[in-house]
Each structure stands twice: as C-alpha cells, then as structure tokens.
C-alpha cells in the first residue's frame, strides 16, 4: 500500500492511499478517514461511492463528513469511480463512459472487461485489502453514495443484504437501464441483452426478488438531472407490496452538487450510525 497523503482531522486521520488491483488490472486510489476511537478498538465502516466524473477526492474535499464521522466513531472509505491509467480504455469526449464512469459493475464486453471490474473491486478486493490495514469491524458495514454512486450503493446492498446493515443515497440513479445518461454505458459495458443489465439496476433487482430492510434517499427538487436520470419515484413504485422500507425526502431549491450533499451529510451519518451500533 502506498501512502499518498495523511492529515490529522477532528482527532482522526484522513489518508489517501493506492495499491495494485488485481480486479481492475492497475493501480487504484482510495481515501480512508479513521476516527479517533479506532486507536482503542475496531470501528464500523461506511463505504461512500461517488458519482460520474468524480474520484475519491470530491467527497473528501467537499462532503464535510469528518467532524460527524469522528464524533460517531465511523471509518469512511471512499473508492475511486473507475480504473485509471494510460492503458485503460476511455471515451475522452463522453463523460458518461469510461474513466470516472465505472457504474460499479463488472463489464463483460471488449475492450472494457479487462479493467472495468468495479463491482468486484468494491465488494471483494478493496474490503479485503482495507481490513488488513485499518482497525475496522467488518461485521458492521454500511454503504451510501451520490448519483452513479447512489445507484452503486443501492444495487450492492440489494445483492449483499447479509453484509450491509444500512444503505442510503443522495440523488441516486434508481433505474439506470432506462435512464438517458446510463443506457449507453450499460450497452457498451454489458452488451445489448438487457437481461444482463438487471443485476445492476435497483428497481429491476427488487422486481426480481432482491430485498434490503430499508433505504434513506435525499433528492433535490432543483436537480437538473431529476426527470431524465434519477427519478426516485420509480424506486418508490418498485417497492410497493414488499417489506422494504423507504424514507424519501424531496428538498426544495437543492440541486445535484456537493452543496446539497454536504447539507444532509450529517443526517446520513447519524442514520447509518444508529443501524451500525
């Protein structure tokens, strides 16, 4: 593990690290905030998945999570959103595809499949690696994210209900298989057979029988992507008749930015902490 930076914050440590990833066939960067309580005992962990065009740095620099994470004793791990490097395929003029747009799935199509194995990386390789280097109680895991990362968090929770105790999202893409800004990526990563897309679609997973106890979703009503990309009401409709709980909060005047995320970050951390206690 390479240490790229380490800084003291709120009595804890905010670090940025990298390692060679077998899943993504290259060096991957991730951020970890370790609260001061971890000096004495392993602490619960929250995985934060970022959105399109982002890296680990966006939430680390703008998310304003450290004060509350330190108070609650939560480790916060922030992976990158895709593989990186000169050998990694990309579409330079398409922000919805390639680097910064891994969609937290395992690609099956050429040339993407060799490196774009973000589902395996986030659910298997990175947790195994991080647990070796930090004082984490892996029996208490929660996951949350923003936009594409909200999509990732929800699908990962639905597919791994025995691993995660809590899941929340800021402005998630709840049905990427029908959203304008994700259809193209899904087709290139997974092929034309839309049956293969369902395992990475929260609404489809619920319809196919996947279950998770409850979700918290915050969404800004002034979000310019609300009607074409996000559409949280579709998930609200999909869970009707199931035992899945949903707290969906729609906020006047808030957009898709980190001003929105940072406003409600404390609420999400407290919500997770209650379920990870």
Q: What is the pLDDT of residues 7-53, one digit of tens each?
A: 999 999 999 999 999 999 999 999 999 999 999 999 999 999 999 99
> What's the 3-state SS for 165-221?
EEEEEECCCCCCCCCHHHHHHHHHHHCCCHHHHHHHCHHHHHHCCCCCCEEEEEEEC
Q: Which residues are catalytic?
A: 147, 223, 256
Domains of the chain, by residue range, sit at: 2-276
- According to CATH, the topology of domain 2-276 is Rossmann fold (3.40.50)
In this structure, are residues 275 and 165 in contact, taking their beta carbons and an 8 Å threshold?
A: yes
In this prediction, residues 71-89 reach a mean pLDDT of 97
How many angstroms from the chain centroid is the CA of residue 74?
16
Residue 52 pLDDT = 97
Q: What is the pLDDT of residues 130-171, one digit of tens each?
A: 999 999 999 999 999 999 999 999 999 999 999 999 999 999
When the pLDDT of each residue in the chain is averaged and rounded to a whole number, the result is 97
Residue 207 pLDDT = 98
Residue 271 pLDDT = 98
Q: What is the pLDDT of residues 104-140, one digit of tens each?
A: 999 999 999 999 999 999 999 999 999 999 999 999 9
In this prediction, residues 61-79 reach a mean pLDDT of 98
Q: Is the pLDDT of residue 88 over 90?
A: yes
Confidence of residue 181 (pLDDT cuts 50, 70, 90): confident
In this prediction, residues 202-223 reach a mean pLDDT of 98
């Amino acid at each position: 593990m390479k240490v790229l930076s380490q800084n003291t914050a709120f009595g804890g440590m905010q670090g940025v690290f990298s390692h060679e990833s077998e899943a993504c066939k290259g060096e991957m960067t991730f951020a970890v905030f370790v609260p001061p309580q971890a000096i004495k005992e392993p602490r619960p962990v929250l995985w934060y998945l970022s959105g399109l065009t982002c890296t680990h740095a966006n939430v680390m620099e703008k998310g304003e999570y450290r004060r509350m994470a330190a108070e609650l004793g939560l480790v916060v791990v922030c992976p990158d959103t895709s593989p990186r490097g000169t050998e990694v395929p990309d579409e330079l003029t398409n922000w919805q595809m390639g680097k910064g747009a891994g969609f937290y799935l395992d690609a099956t199509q050429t040339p993407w499949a060799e490196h774009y194995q973000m589902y395996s990386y986030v659910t298997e390789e990175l947790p195994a690696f991080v647990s070796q280097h930090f004082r984490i109680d892996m029996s208490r895991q929660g996951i949350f994210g923003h936009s594409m990362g909200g999509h990732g968090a929800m699908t990962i929770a639905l597919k791994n209900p025995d691993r995660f105790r809590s899941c929340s999202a800021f402005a998630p893409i709840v049905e990427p298989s029908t959203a304008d800004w994700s259809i193209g990526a899904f087709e290139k990563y997974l092929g034309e057979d839309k049956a293969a897309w369902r395992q990475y679609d929260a609404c489809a997973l619920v319809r196919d029988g996947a279950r998770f106890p409850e979700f918290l979703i915050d969404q800004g009503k002034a979000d310019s992507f609300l009607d074409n990309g996000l559409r949280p009401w579709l998930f609200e409709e999909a869970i009707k008749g199931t035992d899945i709980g949903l707290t969906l909060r729609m906020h006047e005047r808030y957009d898709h930015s980190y001003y929105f995320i940072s406003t409600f970050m404390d609420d999400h951390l407290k919500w997770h902490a209650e379920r990870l206690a």
